[in-house]
Structures are given as structure tokens and as C-alpha cells.
């Protein structure tokens, strides 16, 4: 059974700072990794996918993958109060059907 672990937080950062969210996973064979954002009372929204070692940037978001160390991180630059949400790390299980989710990290960005 794959495991995905995240610090539940809350992670508190001031507006304009960089928020760093981390995730570790247990299955060395994992090939793809996803970050979802979930606002309170809403459904998850896919914000980043990463498949190769290194960094992938999309606007203010950067996903970083290190397969040797089995961790994936999400950096949010210039954090805004509207970024306050729970960020879920997800890894597909064998066969790419189900996603295994971490418990999520709650991010609070204060004005």
C-alpha cells in the first residue's frame, strides 16, 4: 500500500512570502505526482502535475521532484491571502487508477 505523507500544518506565512509545502511518498516506482488545492467547502482543484526530476514552474507555483529522496514539494511565490487553502499531494497507485492522497497541508496567508 502506497503512502503519501504531508505535514497537516497549519503553515502560516505573511502575504508576499514564499510558502513551501512538502510531501514524501513510499513507493519508489511512482512516476507521476499531483498537487491539488482545496478551499474549505469546495472540491479539490488540480494545480500542478510533475513527472520528471527537477523543477516545474507555472506562474507563482513551482513543483519540485526528487525521486531519489522520494519527496515532492510545492513552492508558492508571492503568497496571497487567496492562496489560503488545504494543499493535497497525490500519487497514483499501481495501474494509474486510484490516487493516494496525503492528508493535506493547511496554508494560511496573513495580510
For binding to other proteins (CB under 8 A), which residues are involved?
A: 31-32, 34, 36, 41-46, 49, 51, 88, 90, 92, 96-99, 101, 103-104
Please, which residue, 17 or 64, has the CB nearer to other proteins?
A: 64
- Report how far residue 102's alpha carbon sits from residue 84's, in angstroms, rounded to the nearest whole number: 18
Kindly tell me which of 13 and 90 has the beta carbon lying closer to other proteins. Answer: 90
The residue among 45 and 78 lying less far from other proteins, judged by its C-beta, is 45
Q: CB of 32: closest distance to other proteins in angstroms?
A: 4
Minimum CB distance to other proteins smaller for 38 or for 70: 38
Distance CA 85, CA 74 (A): 13
Least separation in angstroms between CB 68 and other proteins: 20
What share of residues in the chain are helix, strand, coil (percent, to 5)?
5, 55, 45
DSSP bridge pairs for 75: 20, 62
Q: Are 33 and 63 in contact (CB under 8 A)?
A: yes
CB of 97 to other proteins, least distance (A): 6
C-alpha cell at 96: 494509474
Amino acid at each position: 500500500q502506497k503512502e503519501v505523507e504531508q505535514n497537516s500544518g497549519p503553515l502560516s506565512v505573511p502575504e508576499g512570502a514564499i510558502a513551501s509545502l512538502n510531501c514524501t511518498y513510499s513507493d519508489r516506482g511512482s512516476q507521476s505526482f499531483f498537487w491539488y488545492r482545496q478551499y474549505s467547502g469546495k472540491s479539490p482543484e488540480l494545480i500542478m502535475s510533475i513527472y520528471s526530476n527537477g523543477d516545474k514552474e507555472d506562474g507563482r507555483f513551482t513543483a519540485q521532484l526528487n525521486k531519489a529522496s522520494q519527496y515532492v514539494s510545492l513552492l508558492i511565490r508571492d503568497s496571497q491571502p487567496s492562496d489560503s487553502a488545504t494543499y493535497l499531494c497525490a500519487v497514483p497507485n499501481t495501474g494509474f487508477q486510484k490516487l493516494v492522497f496525503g492528508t493535506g497541508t493547511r496554508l494560511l496567508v496573513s495580510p
